[in-house]
């Protein structure tokens, strides 16, 4: 592409075409706000309960893995995957509890949670360090969401969410609320930088906005319907490349709304408030740690797929700088009934993950492999969706993003050697190459945070407990 490609995808071009007569949704304005990516959008995810090591890592010269086979074989996603092997937890002090208690924030903060009940002596996770030290132009500097839909009570507060210093940041678990904040309002107020408990007035306003969005979805109406005529006129004034970008974002938002619509059912009487069918019991935590009453696990699969689409849309529309997402909570007791895996016990955590000795062919190993393949599928969906959004200079949102897929443990029986870490995306050119595995021997996990900070443009020599750990050895950074 010529150098004019940068200008073609600028907000100035979009607004010049709209003039003073057309209404352009705010998410579309932000999608055109940057002419070219100078810093990647960052997405951090974490699943629980480790993995079956023999099935996760590619062996020999073939770029294939039992757990990652479909991800690595995907012609769009596979070449953008970078695996980091050999990460071991570098413990400091005398941590209490187990990997479920400090693993959630330990990997992304570089500190141990040395209080089993709460992260009283932990440290800030890398997402919070970045938003404190870097300037972000997006409406949301960071956003934390998750699916916490388990038929099992929370054991202690330390397992609930990510942390910043000594304060936990609760995840949003209400997909309708998130949709409203990012895409559901045509005249949205300035967005907060992180999720968290707000005042009564703010909560009431958020609940009202979510109710309005849910009603609109139940009526099978899109937020885009209100400006359909203006959008048609806008596209007629744009060149082919700009029109293609507009189409990709509008189509993505409408498709997402359609899938949300399918989870909404109207109540019996005319004019009554619609009730979300699949997500009605999934509510944000009011305190960030009071999660002892878990939502129905029947929601989990639907929500996980919806959130992968939501995250991709939010990132591609340049609405959030750093997105963090947790699949359940520390030591999650999901049952994964929707996977229909043979010999699945009543509790995957206790009777499968904890019993995985690393020996191939056992029921525990096969179940861990099946669950691992499910999370690989979700991340493949996320990456493929990012790749569907064109951006400046012939790139895509996947080229300009860094997705870090992590785990609270290396193995189900609380092993901390060999954390499975995958990078997806081109990181806005900060990764010199992708589509390979870094296998440079044992490396301490603090290098993960240090590497992420340097990729994001925050020069760092170390992270967490280890101020001089450096980047991952063997990872080629630009």
> Does residue 125 lie in a domain region?
yes
pLDDT digits (tens, 9 = 90+) for 189-238: 334 344 543 445 556 666 777 777 777 777 778 888 888 888 898 888 88
Answer yes or no: are the C-beta atoms of 442 and 86 closer than 8 Å: yes
**Residue 46 lies in domain:** 35-200+286-455
Instruction: Give the Cα separation of 100 and 272 in Å (integer).
Output: 43
> Does residue 205 lie in a domain region?
no
DSSP 74-91: -TTTGGGEEEEEEEE---
* Vertex 108 angle, CA 88 and 54, to 5°: 40
> Does residue 269 lie in a domain region?
no
Share of the chain above pLDDT 90, in %: 48
User: According to the model, what pLDDT value does residue 288 have?
Assistant: 30
Answer yes or no: are the C-beta atoms of 119 and 102 closer than 8 Å: yes
Q: Is the pLDDT of residue 9 over 50?
A: yes
Report the residue count for the chain: 478
> Does residue 83 lie in a domain region?
yes
pLDDT digits (tens, 9 = 90+) for 170-181: 788 888 889 988
> Does residue 423 lie in a domain region?
yes
Q: Please report, for the domain that includes residue 321, its CATH number.
A: 3.40.720
Average pLDDT of span 53-60: 93
User: According to the model, what pLDDT value does residue 62 have?
Assistant: 81
Least confident piece of the model among 59-73, 143-157, 187-201, 388-402: 187-201
User: According to the model, what pLDDT value does residue 95 have?
Assistant: 58
> Does residue 26 lie in a domain region?
no
pTM confidence score: 0.88
Average pLDDT over all residues of the chain: 82
The total number of structural domains in the chain stands at 1
* Run of H or E residues at 178: helix 175-179
Q: Is the pLDDT of residue 275 over 60?
A: no
Average pLDDT of span 8-21: 77
> Does residue 106 lie in a domain region?
yes
User: According to the model, what pLDDT value does residue 393 have?
Assistant: 83
Share of the chain above pLDDT 70, in %: 79
DSSP 265-303: E--SSTTPPPEETTTTT----SSSS---SPPPGGGHHHH
Instruction: Give the Cα separation of 312 and 321 in Å (integer).
Output: 12
Instruction: Give the Cα separation of 119 and 113 in Å (integer).
Output: 5
Instruction: Give the Cα separation of 103 and 159 in Å (integer).
Output: 8
Answer yes or no: are the C-beta atoms of 214 and 176 closer than 8 Å: yes
Most distant pair of Cα atoms in the chain: their distance: 66
User: According to the model, what pLDDT value does residue 158 have?
Assistant: 67
> Does residue 97 lie in a domain region?
yes
Average pLDDT of span 293-310: 80
* Residues 89-93: contacts with CB under 8 Å, at least 24 apart: 89/410, 89/416, 89/417, 89/419, 89/444, 89/445, 90/444, 90/445, 90/446, 90/465, 90/466, 91/416, 92/465
């Amino acid at each position: 592409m010529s150098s004019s490609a940068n200008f073609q995808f600028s907000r100035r071009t979009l607004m010049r075409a709209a003039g003073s007569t057309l209404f352009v949704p705010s998410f579309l304005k932000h999608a055109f706000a940057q002419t070219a990516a100078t810093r990647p959008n960052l997405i951090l995810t974490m699943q629980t309960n480790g993995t079956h090591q023999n099935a996760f890592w590619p062996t020999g010269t073939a770029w294939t893995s039992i757990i990652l086979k479909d991800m690595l074989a995907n012609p769009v996603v596979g070449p953008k995957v970078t695996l980091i092997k050999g990460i071991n937890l570098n413990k400091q002090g005398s941590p209490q509890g187990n990997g479920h208690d400090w693993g959630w924030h330990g990997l992304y903060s570089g500190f141990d949670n040395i209080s089993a009940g709460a992260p009283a002596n932990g440290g800030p996770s890398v997402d919070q360090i970045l938003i404190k030290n870097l300037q972000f132009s997006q409406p949301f500097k960071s956003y934390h969401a998750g699916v916490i839909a388990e038929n099992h009570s929370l054991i202690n507060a330390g397992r609930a969410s990510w942390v910043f210093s000594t304060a936990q940041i609760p995840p949003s678990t209400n997909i309708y609320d998130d949709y409203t904040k990012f895409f559901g309002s045509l005249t949205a107020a300035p967005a907060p930088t992180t999720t968290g408990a707000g005042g009564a007035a703010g909560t009431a306003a958020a609940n009202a906005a979510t109710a309005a969005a849910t009603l609109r979805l139940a009526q099978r109406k899109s937020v885009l319907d209100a400006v359909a005529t203006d959008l048609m006129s806008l596209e007629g004034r744009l060149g082919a490349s700009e029109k293609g970008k507009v189409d990709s974002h509008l189509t993505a938002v409408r498709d997402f709304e359609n899938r949300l619509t399918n989870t909404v059912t109207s109540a019996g009487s005319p004019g009554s408030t619609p009730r979300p069918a699949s997500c009605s019991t999934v509510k944000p935590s009011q305190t960030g740690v009071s999660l002892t009453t878990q939502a129905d696990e029947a929601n989990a699969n639907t929500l996980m797929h919806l959130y992968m689409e939501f995250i991709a849309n939010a990132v591609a529309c340049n609405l959030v700088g750093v997105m963090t997402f947790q699949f359940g909570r520390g030591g999650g007791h999901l049952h994964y009934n929707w996977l229909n895996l043979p010999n699945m016990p009543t509790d995957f955590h206790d009777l499968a993950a904890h019993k995985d000795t690393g020996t191939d062919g056992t029921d525990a190993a096969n179940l861990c492999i099946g669950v691992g393949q499910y999370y690989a599928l979700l991340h493949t969906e996320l990456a493929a969706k990012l790749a569907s959004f064109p951006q400046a200079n012939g790139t895509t949102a996947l080229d300009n993003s860094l997705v870090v897929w992590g785990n609270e443990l290396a193995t189900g029986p609380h092993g901390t050697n060999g954390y499975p870490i995958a990078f997806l995306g081109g990181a806005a050119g900060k990764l010199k190459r992708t589509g390979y595995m870094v296998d440079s021997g044992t490396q301490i996990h603090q290098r993960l945070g240090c590497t992420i900070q340097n990729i994001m443009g925050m020069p760092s020599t170390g992270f967490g407990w280890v101020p001089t750990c450096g980047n991952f050895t063997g990872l080629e950074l630009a």
